[in-house]
Amino acid sequence: MQNRSRFRFALLCACLAASVAVGLLGRGYWTPDEPREADIAWRMSWQAGKAVPLLAGEAFCEKPPLAYWVAGAAIDRWGAAAWVARLPNLLYALVTALAVGAIGRRAAGPIAGMAAAAAITTFLLSYQVAIWLATDAPLVAAVAVALWGLYTGFYAGRRRERLYGYTCMHAALALGFLCKSAAGWMVPVLTLATLVIWEKRWRELRRWELYAGFAVQAALILTWVAFVYAGPDGPAHLKVFFWNNLAGRFAHVDAPEELQYAAAHRNTPGKYLIELPLYLWPWTLLVLAAIRAAWRSRGRPHLMRFPSLGPVRAGRPEPAIPDEWRLARFAMATFLPTLAVLSVAATARNIYLAPALPGLALLLGWWTRRLDRCDLWDARAIRATAGLLMLAVAVLTAALLVLGRDAWDTLNTRTAFVAISAVGLALGAGFLASAWCAVRQGRALPALFALLLAYCALLVGPASQIYRRVDPWQDLAVIGRAIGRDSAGRPLILFSSDETTRAFIDMYARTSVEFMAGPINATSTQHLKERLTQAPGSLVMTQLPGRKDSRTVRELASLLGLTHSAGLPADESDAMPAWASDSGLRARRRYALPNGRHYALLETGGADTPR
């Protein structure tokens, strides 16, 4: 029995690691955000000053530099390939899983710990964060460690253990701050405040052990602040770091238009609740079952065990809280307050909620631990989850049939595409059938294990092949290198280009360009004309609207009777936008990715030479 448990644990770890590795290592830099983050990390690998990140040579003060330091170190050691820059994410994902699993194991045993670690690794939003090159993966890892320290300190039975837990919490909070500023504090601070109020443990706020670790935070954070302050434009950079990028996320502040962060990603009432089922896919129904179980368990202490939480102090024992209910309470205190705060913020993005997902992972671990008392609704949730994953098998099969039309270039490509996709789909379907049989026999835990293996098989098999087919749609490095060759020896102006464009030009074309901000209007085009008059040999690069559809997408659209008005016209030599003609510019070269971005390199006079 023990050998079987070890084998299952090893198999689980291998499947989770393979699932994350496929998303991390099997593709290039994808929009949105990854090209920008890659350029900042690449710059960090060789720039002289390390305190302020640089985007295309200009200060980027949205986020502190810790994540860029780590990615830059990897790039400096192994090169600027996408898998190298994302390699630290494997460490972040491992730390997150271990920290969340450690909380679940400490509170409710090894089964709860394994389930919580698996959930935080495979929630759709958690998986997206783990495989994406951004500051969110290290932030989630830091928050998970901080929550582990908070749980250890808050429920410690001895002063030494309490000091150790809270000090670890403060150290993790400092690292989280250096990843994404004070956003790293939100989840642990709200969790602590909620637990104190919920459990009426006001004396916890008077313990010196809770505050001793502030010295660690101060040492790390203030050291970085001092370096920023001492650098060029230090006070202005600190204002952007700590005012525009923090207060500006929750409300409008007095700042230039480019620093009005509240103007982007506008929040809407109920956005997070509406999208939450997607964030938790494919375990959404299991989380609902866990919430139902937690609601039904409230006020039923006779169903739980009641261990002592700590020593008697001043003649009064600490409040006794059910062992298993403690984990559910901690889980809800982790997630619900953060959800409430984010729901009233001015801005909203799905990744903002990612640091709170350990709460729902812990709740799922708590529910899994209770499945020896599995009822009808729990069984229905497991069967419905199997049905959702079977639907995913069908969707992935259809996607592979569509995308695979472009994969028949060579025999090797065709063989690998079919073999890996077929094996993944077959394993996924087989594990789903096993899960269905197990739940019919009343064996809930084996059914959940089979569901997890099925999901991992789909991620490693067909999803990896979808990554390979989609990757050329995002290969901005090809465009960047081509523009570098075509513009060699002449000044280059980026006109009304977004951060993504500036980033890949900086990485792949040249590090010295002139940037003219948009939007495109009479004022900006007049400025462009004046600049071209001063430097008549300059080339202008701009992004054009629409995309270039691949042959497969055009054929599919035609088959379905759909139009592709968003795509490029069949004759790519059609006239340029009006502002280009008004400025006396014609296309020197055009660049387009299949189903992706479309750019043009413009020059004054001459004939169009579309590519």
Q: In the Cβ-directed half-sphere of 9, how many Cα atoms lie within 13 Å?
A: 12
Alpha-carbon distance of 579 to 207, in angstroms, equals: 66
The angle subtended at Cα 20 by Cα 81 and Cα 151, nearest 5°, is 120
For residue 42, what are its two tokens?
């690449």
Query: pLDDT tens, 20-44?
Result: 999 998 899 998 889 999 999 999 9
User: Please, are residues 68 and 42 in contact by the beta-carbon 8 Å criterion?
Assistant: no
User: Please, are residues 272 and 339 in contact by the beta-carbon 8 Å criterion?
Assistant: yes
Alpha-carbon distance of 37 to 32, in angstroms, equals: 10
Helix 376-403 to helix 462-470 angle, to the nearest 10 degrees? 40
How would DSSP label each residue in 414-480?
A: HHHHHHHHHHHHHHHHHHHHHHHHHHHTT-HHHHHHHHHHHHHHHHHTHHHHHHHHHGGGG-HHHHH
The mean pLDDT of the chain is 85
Whole-prediction pTM value? 0.89
Alpha-carbon distance of 265 to 250, in angstroms, equals: 11
Alpha-carbon distance of 171 to 134, in angstroms, equals: 21
Q: Rounded to whole angstroms, what are the CA distances from 610 to 93, 483, 572, 576?
A: 45, 13, 7, 11
Low-confidence ranges of the chain (pLDDT < 70): 1-3, 247-265, 299-324, 373, 404-413, 546-575, 606-611
For residue 421, what are its two tokens?
């996709």
Q: Return the domain boundaries, the chain.
A: 87-301+320-372, 380-469, 475-604
Alpha-carbon distance of 132 to 154, in angstroms, equals: 33
Alpha-carbon distance of 130 to 480, in angstroms, equals: 27
Alpha-carbon distance of 480 to 501, in angstroms, equals: 9
Q: Where are the alpha helices (DSSP H) in 487-521?
A: 499-508
* Single-letter residue type at 427: L
The angle subtended at Cα 481 by Cα 476 and Cα 482, nearest 5°, is 95
Return the pLDDT at 409: 54
Return the pLDDT at 323: 56
